Amino acid sequence: MEVQETRVQTDRVLTIPNILSMARLVGVPVFLWLILWPEFGGPNCDGWALLVLALSGVSDYLDGKLARRWNQISGLGRVLDPAADRLYILSTLVGLTWRGILPLWLTVALLAREVLLLAMVWVLDRHGYAPPQVNFLGKAATFNLMYAFPLLLLSDGSGALASLAAIFGWAFAGWGTALYWWAGILYVVQVRRLVKADAEAD
């Protein structure tokens, strides 16, 4: 993640990219409900959950691309997009861990990185810096995890398809977790440099 100010090109709220991000946020509780319904005596809705997750991935790609192409980058969009990413990751972690598909150690590792990131955002805010825009490394980590989670959900079954999904799902999960922490460590280094520069300037 790059700790720098990005020029906001519009202050409009109801832009197409922002509407896509809002739709993704609405989908978060729907996705979590579909994942956990079998745990509360309901039918298995994994197919619908996979569809919601797939649509989230498509909208995640489109909102950023359209915002840049149509010059609709906004302050609200800079908040909504990463918020939707993190809420989907959080809801997926909760759902898949509850169902025993994800091991607890992986969930703890990903959540610990989020706590670290929140701490760095708090430090930035104290020094008068805005939250950074997500860069390529952070997006790559998110995309890997967003591929991993539906594949791991698909692996919760039997047969050749489930076995194949498990292989690719764990590969994406491993790469996604590594990139997630790499992006987080780079973020810490950048925040440390900013704080040090501020201290020296004083």
pLDDT of residue 76: 67
pLDDT of residue 12: 66
**Is 6 within the bounds of a domain?**
no
pLDDT digits (tens, 9 = 90+) for 7-18: 456 566 677 777
Task: List the domain range (segments joined by +) for residue 172.
Answer: 16-201
pLDDT of residue 54: 80
DSSP output for 60-118: HHHHHHHHHHTT--BHHHHHHHHHHHHHHHHHHHHHHHHTTSS-HHHHHHHHHHHHHHH
**Is 192 within the bounds of a domain?**
yes
Identify the DSSP state of 3.
-
Rounded average pLDDT over 21-43: 87
Query: Residue 88 above 60 pLDDT?
Result: yes
**Is 3 within the bounds of a domain?**
no
pLDDT digits (tens, 9 = 90+) for 119-174: 888 888 787 776 666 677 887 888 888 888 888 988 887 788 889 999 999 999 99
Residue 22 pLDDT level (bands cut at 50, 70, 90): confident
**Is 119 within the bounds of a domain?**
yes
pLDDT digits (tens, 9 = 90+) for 93-121: 898 999 888 999 999 999 999 898 888 88
Rounded average pLDDT over 35-49: 88
* Joined tokens for residue 155: 């692996």
pLDDT: is 31 or 198 the higher one?
Answer: 31
**Is 77 within the bounds of a domain?**
yes
Residue 3 pLDDT level (bands cut at 50, 70, 90): very low
pLDDT of residue 103: 92
The whole-chain average pLDDT of the chain stands at: 81
**Is 139 within the bounds of a domain?**
yes
Provide the number of structural domains found in the chain: 1
**Is 194 within the bounds of a domain?**
yes
State the CATH number of the domain containing residue 134: 1.20.120.1760
Query: Residue 37 above 80 pLDDT?
Result: yes
Query: Residue 6 above 50 pLDDT?
Result: no
Q: What pTM did the predictor assign? A: 0.71
Query: Residue 5 above 60 pLDDT?
Result: no
**Is 179 within the bounds of a domain?**
yes
